Structure 1
Amino acid sequence: MDYITLNNGIRTPQLGYGVWKVPNEEAENAVRQALETGYRLIDTAKIYGNEVGVGKALANSNLAREDIFLTTKVWNADQGYETTLKAMDESLEKLALDYVDLYLIHWPTPKYDTYVETYKALEKLYKDGKAKAIGVCNFDIEHLQRIMDECEIVPAVNQVECHPYLQQKELKQFCKEHGIFLEAYSPLMNGTKVIEDPVIQEIAKQHGKTPAQVILRWHLQTDVMVIPKTVTPSRMQENLDVFDFSLTDEDMEKIASLDRNERHNSVPNEMNKR
């Protein structure tokens, strides 16, 4: 495992395990399996509806709490100062934890214009020790800039859709300049389209790796945190086996050329669902 250090000095695995769309009744077993496979970063959210299952897996593991890096998120309907504080308490109760390692705003939902006061609630949670680090999801440059202009603490992480067909180059550069780590969800684009790309297939063949492993390696070599999701034990292992090879500069250039701004999930400025 490779580790990175966030802008507040907190250390976290660069590659983790996401539980989006994993039902609560399956989450305990899936996270248990992930921990046994070697994952130490687990990413959930209130809206996923599986915080209880995730919490049970952590409670029943033989790992020390400080050896697990747990992320959860405040959902759009809970945005606002007091409602965010309440949402965190509800998440901690479901997770059966005293703190989370990273707490994120799930979407900026600009239509409602509450993400600044929501982030100020995150700052309080950080100062109170309920979150070891705070950040955002799905924030574009304009949203990040406003947070930095109107709040005290620079976000540690911006979790966004990112894969070879949506490389987020401008956003990556902005985040890098301001000490914000980009974290990729849907790192394989939630399907076979990127995995079946001839360029990815050829690079995978040259390295004796799977296309998924090549894409995850590309994320790591672009200094991006990454959280692939699967409930299949063999795939969990496959996704973790990416630390024994490196892509060449030529490989990286070929993958860079695949960028086509092709988004699988919602556009941040248009996603205002509560």
Structure 2
Amino acid sequence: MLTYIIKRLLGAVPVIIGVITVVFILTTIVPGDPARIMMGQRGDPATIERIRKEMGLDDPILVQYINFFRKAVVFDLGKSYRNNMPVTQAIIERLPITAKLAFASMAVAVLLGVTVGIISAVKQYSILDYGSMLIALLGISAPTFWVGVLLVLLFCVVLGWIPGIGTGNGEWYYFILPVLTLGVRPAALIARLTRSSMLEIIRQDYIRTARAKGLSEKVVILKHALRNSMIPVVTVIGSQTASLLSGVVLTETIFALPGLGRLSVEALVNRDFPVIRGVVLFMALCFVFVNLLVDLTYPLFDPRIKYD
């Protein structure tokens, strides 16, 4: 197991190097001068030039890349052009909101998606099956911003049940609509995949044998069929969890949540390159480690998988 983990971590090194390189190139070719944005269009040219020198923006591109890479390796992501705050500190301060939103959304998505998928597979070709899969198709097709706006209009404007934006004083009900908005698409994906995987498993010979031995339908479905159909579902859950951590930009913008998504938007508007690079690099690391954790859970569902 340890050898496998070390190999996976070593294999992730080229990925991280590639992410660092691509992020640097993209943020370098983006139009706009951070120093001029800070000083405004009527800023003093001498002051702007001094700021560019302090930021290292007047160095050759290769020198800028080497400096950025050398610092990124030791998690020194520089300071924000906007408020001079260390990028690592800014990410740490915004991370709790995003993590709470992402993991709560995924918990709701897994609970709804797996439950609906099991019911649809057991009740194949029934009205319940057709109805749930139609709703799942709509959930996959609906854009996140559209779902968020509709929920705000319904529950905030029309019904007035739930606050529309912000976090208040940390009350849980402020996160209901963002969690639902972010969890709709993963729930639909998990439901459809659970159904297809379950349908494949329940036709296997060992499922018929379990029924012939007199086991109850609940035990057959939950203990034998569900466990063996979870590997593709767990894979999707892992990828969707990593995607939620990096895909909260629209949701946090719609609901005015001070998380990493909103930090990214603010950084893009202000050409705050260190923050943009830091957030993207953090998201890449999330993808790498979440995928590793997903791979390590496979033996829990299929004992034939060994990492020796």
Compute the TM-score of the two structures, normalised by the length of structure 1. 0.22
More strand by share: 1
Structure label with greater radius of gyration: 2
Higher helix share: 2
Q: Taking CA–CA contacts closer than 8 Å with sequence separation of 6 or more, which of the two structures ends up with the larger relative contact order?
A: 2
TM-score by length of 2: 0.20
